[in-house]
Each structure stands twice: as C-alpha cells, then as structure tokens.
C-alpha cells in the first residue's frame, strides 16, 4: 500500500498576523523554521522514498528540514501551490470582509467564490490531484511519499482523492502548520484516509 503524507508548511509571519497568503511567496518565520526542524525527525523515521514540495519558499524550506535527514532528493512542483486568492492575497479577514462581504461569507461557509479572481475550488482540486496522482503513479510500489504543500490545497486535494464533495473540505478542520494528512492507496480499495492533522 502506498502512503501519501500531505505536510503543511511551517508558520510564516503572515500566518501569525492573519493575512491571506495564497500564492504570494512568503518565507518561514523563526517559529516556522523551528516547527519544521521539530517535525522532520518524526517524518524521517518513516523512511520516505519520495519527497516533493510546492515551489513556494514556505513549503520548500519546510521540506529542506526533512531532506537534511534522509538521503532522498527533493523535486518541486508548482501545481502543489496554495489556492490563489487573487485580490485577497496580503489582506486580513476584516479587510476582505469590508470590501467583499458577500464573497467572504460564501468562502467562510465553503461555498464558491466568484469574486476578486479567487481560484475556483474545482481548478485547485484538479491541479492538486493531477500532481499527486502523477507522483504516486511514478513512485515505487508501496512507497512512502511526503509532499510539502499548503493548508487549503491539502484539504481540497484530500476530498478530491477520496471522492468526497468539496463542500466537506471544511469538516476536515484546519491543517495546522507542520501537521499532515495521512492517505493510503492500493489498487483494490483506492484511496483511504488514515489520519488528519497529525503532528
């Protein structure tokens, strides 16, 4: 059975400040670097066979902490980036609410957002699942794969891989910084959820 761990990046100053990052290339904060360093040994103990990261710095720097402990090369894939939040990127929730109140409420309730150039969930899910299925299909049978990615991207990808409606993404709860979602795949049963928000 193939094991796929979707590992959210460590904290950034924008996470701490409540700013929407999307695809803006923010670096890890000192806290985020410490989180990655603390989490990496636990993942290294799983003896990963494949390491892939989003090309955004917060994800690639998180993966670097794990790569330093294992003899596995890292590849980078822009399809693993966070959801693009268009005009909302860099803004706090109150700032978004002040300008786009109806769209903000739809977003909070997991409903489609058609404003401000926010990436559609279907588009996010497709690019994520295209990338993840390609990674799994080219990995050795029974591999353990660690993918460093982003919170919303990981939640929506999890729903898509499991065949759940995207409206259920919010029921998974937030994926905390440097926590992971553990998915398993075999040819008979397909995708299964083994754990979520694991430290």
List, by residue number, the catalytic residues.
9, 82
Considering just the CA atoms, what is the radius of gyration of the chain in Å?
Answer: 16
Distance from C-alpha of 184 to C-alpha of 4, rounded to nearest angstrom: 6
CA angle 75, 76, 82 (to 5 degrees): 145
- In terms of DSSP bridges, do strands 180-186 and 50-53 run parallel, antiparallel, or are they unpaired? unpaired
Report the distance separating Cα 72 and Cα 47, nearest Å. Answer: 10
Structural tokens at position 41: 């040994």
Rounded distance, CA 39 to CA 48, Å? 14
Six-digit token string for 152:
């919303």
Q: Give me 43's structure tokens.
A: 């993942």
CA distances (Å), 21 to each of 46, 89, 90, 186, in order?
30, 5, 6, 34
């Amino acid at each position: 059975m193939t094991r796929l761990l979707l590992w959210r990046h460590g904290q950034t100053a924008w996470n701490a400040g409540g700013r929407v990052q999307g695809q803006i290339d923010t670096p890890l904060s000192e806290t985020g670097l410490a989180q990655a360093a603390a989490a990496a040994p636990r993942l290294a103990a799983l003896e990963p066979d494949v390491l892939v990261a989003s090309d955004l710095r917060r994800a690639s720097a998180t993966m670097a902490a794990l790569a330093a402990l294992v003899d596995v090369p890292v590849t980078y894939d822009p399809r693993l980036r966070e959801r693009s939040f268009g005009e909302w990127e860099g803004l706090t929730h109150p700032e978004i609410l002040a300008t786009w109140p109806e769209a903000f409420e739809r977003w909070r309730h997991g409903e489609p957002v058609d404003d401000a150039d926010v990436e559609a969930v279907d588009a996010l899910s497709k690019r994520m699942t295209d990338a993840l299925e390609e990674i799994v299909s080219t990995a050795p049978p029974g591999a353990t794969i660690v993918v460093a990615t982003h919170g919303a991207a990981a939640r929506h990808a999890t729903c898509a891989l499991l065949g759940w409606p995207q409206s259920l993404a919010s029921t998974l709860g937030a994926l905390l910084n440097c926590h992971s979602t553990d998915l398993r795949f075999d040819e008979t049963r397909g995708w299964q959820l083994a754990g979520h928000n694991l430290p």
